[in-house]
Amino acid sequence: MGFGLLNKVILVYEEAFWEPNRDMFGLLNEAERQASLNPEDYASRRGRYYLFWNCLVTSGKPTLIALMAGEAAHYTEETSNDQLIKEVTDCLDQMFAPNRVPLPTETIVTRWSKDPFACGSYSYVGPETQTGDYDVMARPHGPLHFTGEATCGTHPATVHGAYLSGLRAAAEVVEKMIGPIRVPTPLVEKKVKLEHPTPHPPTISDVKRKFSSDAPLQSSGSTASNNSIHKTARAVRDEDYEASIIGEILSQLGERPIKPGRTGVNPFLLYTKDQWYTVKHDCDAKRRAATGDVNAKASKTEIRTALGLKWRTEDPAVRQPYLDQTQSAKDDAAASTAGFKDAVALWDREAERIRVEYIRDHPPEDGEGDMVMNGRTAIELGAGKRPRR
């Protein structure tokens, strides 16, 4: 399990320059190498101001909260407020061009990693996380009980997870002090008569046992119920065993290679991205002049047509970088596709070998090795395929 970092840049303005009724808007950052297909080229910028929350209604002030995730969260810790404000203002300027975005009147920047009482933001499921790690964090040690979002496997990293963990720990403490708490069954009386009432109402310990171990429910009596709990425990054990095989495969081989997609890049698209607002500005001006309406705006079709003409008649020196970028993206894609087939065949063979060796070295408790030996999971069957566009 990991302890992660998310930071926020909070910006208060004189007045809202964004759509006041929109809860949030996003920003897709460019890679360090433009139009790159390599995810690593996006790592340092992907999380910078990638989402803006509009807090106008909730705070009563024209406020935006920009999120800083991944590497950008760590970058926030090391970067001055002035630099961050300049960067975020440049990003907003581009998004709202041709309008100019003013500087904020007040700002707050969080640096949770530097906060000695927080040391970070919240837990996350890391590559090494195992099934049940959150439950391990929640286990009491003698009279010491643990709460907090990182002890709540169902709702980690959230306020409601922290709250639920508090309820769980409080119940544990009370049970330890005064014994099992009787939970009425049903909790809320039904108006209809129960045909098979439970002989003894279950306690909180019973309910917890049902979810946490193989032990059958002691007090609820019915055989059918016991069977179903045995079945659940068995299914959980199988899943855990399967998860440990997959864990071994992934730790040795990493993820199964994903089929590379088409580049989706062409020179005109790249040019359009850079020129859109300039051309829009000119088209709007022409439309205003033609109609005499100061608020007139050009349609998207008009702007696209003007862009097409501009691209076709553009100076070759201006066109060349766009042609080069497209060719470079195509070359990258061709190289990835060539290697993909061999890489995936090798991965499959190795996964099969690791599975067989794992089962040989750690046979399952109930001797179902043959079933598992012949089975392949979704990961090994190529569930990691790139979704169709």
Ligand X SMILES: Cc1cc2nc3c(=O)[nH]c(=O)nc-3n(C[C@H](O)[C@H](O)[C@H](O)COP(=O)(O)OP(=O)(O)OC[C@H]3O[C@@H](n4cnc5c(N)ncnc54)[C@H](O)[C@@H]3O)c2cc1C
Name the residue nearer to ligand X (CB basis): 158 or 327.
Answer: 158
Q: By CB under 6 A, name the one of 12, 95, 97, 157 that touches ligand X.
A: 157
Binding pattern for the stretch 94-123 against ligand X, x by CB under 6 A and - elsewhere: ------------------x----xx--xx-
Q: By CB under 6 A, name the one of 55, 162, 279, 351 that touches ligand X.
A: 162
Name the residue nearer to ligand X (CB basis): 12 or 157.
Answer: 157
Q: How many residues bind ligand X (CB under 6 A)?
A: 14
Name the residue nearer to ligand X (CB basis): 124 or 340.
Answer: 124
Position 158 contacts ligand X (CB under 6 A): yes
Give, as ranges, the residues between 124 and 153 that touch ligand X (CB under 6 A).
148-149
Name the residue nearer to ligand X (CB basis): 149 or 380.
Answer: 149
Degrees to nearest 5, angle at CA 10 with 7 and 14: 170
Name the residue nearer to ligand X (CB basis): 50 or 358.
Answer: 50
Q: How far is the CB of 126 from ligand X (least distance, A)?
A: 16
Name the residue nearer to ligand X (CB basis): 119 or 289.
Answer: 119
Position 55 contacts ligand X (CB under 6 A): no
Q: How far is the CB of 166 from ligand X (least distance, A)?
A: 8
**Interacting residue ranges for ligand X, rule: CB under 6 A:** 6, 8, 112, 117-118, 121-122, 148-149, 157-160, 162
